[in-house]
């Protein structure tokens, strides 16, 4: 596909982080640590997105289904001209995703895998068995710009919400795709120098190379701070 054939979706992301910048414990076990307000915030953001995208390790966690938060949000989606349920996009460059994960038990909306050419044909067939479509982009890693253009063209994704985890979000940032970052800063400290952050990949070595954002808004609700950053590009 010619890369000029279609547009990139608007990409935004949302995380709960601790006061020391962690998004989970070093064990990477899925432990929701935000308040009810944070959960509501997540559902409100989901209700503005055509699709939600996450990395294989985040999606494999028990209970993760990437669904809208019930009738109220489904109605809101319809009123905004969105489909009643968001598309669900899973990134797994090697195809290592656990196909017994809870997400495949709830068939309320389409599931799309983004994989790389590394995935052998037999495994591609297995992935096709649990998903509605498998898009292959890039030799060893998923070529995210190409994949997102395809999501826009084929699946009409105009707003894409990235819900992590650390590795996928880092790739999204490095590809220069992130336009808006929502952080809920929670009054907790997890510590640990291997606990994941919102960007676990190679480090930038110069200040000039750092991805730049502008603080767009910040609001205290209860004991948490809801901040929105916009890309300074």
Ligand X SMILES: NC(=O)c1ccc[n+]([C@@H]2O[C@H](COP(=O)([O-])OP(=O)(O)OC[C@H]3O[C@@H](n4cnc5c(N)ncnc54)[C@H](OP(=O)(O)O)[C@@H]3O)[C@@H](O)[C@H]2O)c1
- Using CB under 6 A as the criterion, which residues of the chain lie in contact with ligand X when the complex forms? 15-16, 23-24, 28, 30, 54-58, 61, 91-94, 96-97, 116, 141-142, 144, 163-168, 171, 196, 200
- Label the pairing between strands 51-55 and 87-91: parallel
Least distance in Å: CB of 111 to ligand X?
15
CB 133 within 8 A of CB 112: yes
**Distances from the Cα of 94 to the Cαs of 62, 149, 168, 194, in angstroms?**
21, 21, 13, 23
CB of 71 to ligand X, least distance (A): 24
Q: Of 82 and 185, which has the nearer Cβ to ligand X?
A: 185
Q: Which residue is nearest to ligand X (CB)?
A: 165
Q: Which is nearer to ligand X, 97 or 185 (CB)?
A: 97
* Two structure tokens written together for 90: 């899973």
User: In this complex, which beta carbon is closest to ligand X, that of residue 193 or of residue 208?
Assistant: 193
91 vs 185, beta carbon nearer ligand X: 91
- Of the pair 83, 188, the CB lying nearest ligand X is at 188
The sheet with strand 224-231 has its strands ordered as 133-136, 111-115, 87-91, 51-55, 159-162, 10-18, 180-186, 224-231, 213-221
| Residue 221 Cβ vs ligand X, minimum distance, rounded to whole Å | 16
Enter the tokens of residue 57: 């390790």
Q: Can you tell me which residue has the tokens 């982009």?
A: 137
Nearest to 191 by CA among 20, 27, 15, 30: 20
Question: Can you state the percent helix, strand and coil of the chain, rounding each to 5?
Answer: 25, 25, 50
**Residue nearer to ligand X on the CB measure, 84 or 116:** 116
CB of 77 to ligand X, least distance (A): 21
Q: State in angstroms the smallest separation of the CB of 52 from ligand X.
A: 11
Instruction: Give the pairing type, strands 10-18 and 213-221.
Output: unpaired
Closest separation in Å from C-beta 74 to ligand X: 22
Pairing of strands 111-115, 213-221: unpaired
């Amino acid at each position: 596909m010619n890369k000029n054939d279609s547009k990139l979706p608007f990409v935004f992301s949302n995380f709960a982080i601790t006061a020391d910048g962690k998004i989970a414990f070093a064990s990477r076990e899925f432990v929701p640590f935000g308040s009810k307000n944070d959960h509501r915030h997540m559902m409100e953001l989901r209700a503005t997105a055509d699709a939600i995208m996450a990395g294989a390790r985040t999606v494999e966690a028990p209970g993760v289904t990437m669904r809208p938060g019930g009738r109220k949000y489904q109605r809101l989606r319809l009123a905004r001209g969105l489909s009643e349920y968001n598309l669900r996009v899973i990134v797994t460059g090697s195809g290592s995703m656990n196909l017994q994960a809870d997400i495949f038990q709830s068939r309320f909306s389409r599931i799309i895998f983004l994989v790389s050419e590394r995935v052998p044909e037999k495994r591609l067939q297995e992935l096709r068995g649990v998903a509605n479509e498998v898009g292959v982009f890039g030799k060893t890693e998923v070529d995210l710009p190409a994949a997102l253009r395809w999501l826009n063209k084929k699946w009409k994704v105009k707003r894409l919400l990235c819900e992590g985890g650390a590795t996928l979000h880092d790739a999204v940032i490095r590809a220069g795709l992130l336009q808006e970052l929502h952080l809920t800063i929670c009054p907790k400290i997890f510590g640990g120098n291997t606990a994941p952050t919102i960007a676990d990949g190679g480090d930038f070595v110069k200040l000039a190379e750092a991805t730049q954002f502008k603080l767009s808004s910040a609001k205290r609700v209860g004991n948490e701070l809801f901040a929105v950053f916009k890309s300074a590009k």
